[in-house]
Protein backbone atom coordinates (compact mmCIF):
# COMPACT_ATOMS: atom_id res chain seq x y z
CA UNK A 1 0.00 0.00 0.00
CA UNK A 2 1.16 3.55 -0.69
CA UNK A 3 2.50 5.77 2.02
CA UNK A 4 0.42 8.93 1.67
CA UNK A 5 1.33 10.81 4.81
CA UNK A 6 4.17 13.01 3.49
CA UNK A 7 2.50 13.61 0.14
CA UNK A 8 0.38 16.69 -0.36
CA UNK A 9 -2.46 15.38 -2.51
CA UNK A 10 -3.30 18.87 -3.77
CA UNK A 11 0.26 19.24 -5.12
CA UNK A 12 -0.09 16.05 -7.14
CA UNK A 13 -3.46 17.09 -8.50
CA UNK A 14 -2.09 20.45 -9.63
CA UNK A 15 1.20 19.15 -11.02
CA UNK A 16 0.37 15.77 -12.47
CA UNK A 17 -3.32 15.09 -12.67
CA UNK A 18 -5.46 18.02 -13.81
CA UNK A 19 -5.60 18.46 -17.55
CA UNK A 20 -4.41 14.94 -18.28
CA UNK A 21 -6.52 11.98 -19.35
CA UNK A 22 -5.13 8.61 -18.40
CA UNK A 23 -5.74 5.86 -20.93
CA UNK A 24 -5.82 3.13 -18.31
CA UNK A 25 -6.10 2.81 -14.55
CA UNK A 26 -2.55 1.45 -14.47
CA UNK A 27 -1.28 4.69 -16.02
CA UNK A 28 -2.86 6.67 -13.19
CA UNK A 29 -1.33 4.35 -10.58
CA UNK A 30 2.09 4.65 -12.24
CA UNK A 31 1.80 8.44 -12.31
CA UNK A 32 0.95 8.54 -8.60
CA UNK A 33 3.82 6.18 -7.74
CA UNK A 34 6.26 8.34 -9.70
CA UNK A 35 5.08 11.50 -7.97
CA UNK A 36 5.36 9.89 -4.54
CA UNK A 37 8.93 8.84 -5.33
CA UNK A 38 9.75 12.33 -6.62
CA UNK A 39 8.23 14.01 -3.57
CA UNK A 40 9.99 11.76 -1.08
CA UNK A 41 13.40 11.50 -2.77
CA UNK A 42 13.94 14.57 -4.95
CA UNK A 43 11.68 17.37 -3.72
CA UNK A 44 13.68 19.56 -1.34
CA UNK A 45 11.73 20.86 1.65
CA UNK A 46 12.74 24.12 3.26
CA UNK A 47 11.27 23.01 6.59
CA UNK A 48 13.55 19.92 6.51
CA UNK A 49 16.81 21.86 6.22
CA UNK A 50 16.47 21.90 2.42
CA UNK A 51 16.55 18.11 2.20
CA UNK A 52 14.08 15.68 0.66
CA UNK A 53 12.04 13.76 3.28
CA UNK A 54 13.86 10.43 2.87
CA UNK A 55 17.30 12.03 3.13
CA UNK A 56 16.20 14.03 6.17
CA UNK A 57 14.94 10.87 7.85
CA UNK A 58 18.24 9.08 7.20
CA UNK A 59 20.18 12.03 8.57
CA UNK A 60 18.05 12.10 11.72
CA UNK A 61 18.53 8.38 12.40
The reply to whether the predicted model has a pTM over 0.95 is no
Residues 6+ apart with CB under 8 A from 35: 7, 12, 15, 16
Quote the pLDDT of residue 26.
Answer: 94
Q: How many helices (H) and strands (E) does the chain have?
A: 3, 0
Write down the domain spans for the chain. Answer: 9-60
- Give all strands (DSSP E) within the chain, no chain letters: none
Longest dimension (CA), the chain: 41
Quote the pLDDT of residue 41.
Answer: 87
Answer for the pair 43, 51: CB distance below 8 angstroms, yes or no: no
Helices (H), 1-61: 9-12, 25-41, 53-60
Average pLDDT of each block of 10 consecutive residues along the chain (61 residues)? 55 66 89 86 83 86 72
Amino acid sequence: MWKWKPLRWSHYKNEGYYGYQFKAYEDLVTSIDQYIYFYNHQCYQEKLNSLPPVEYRHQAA
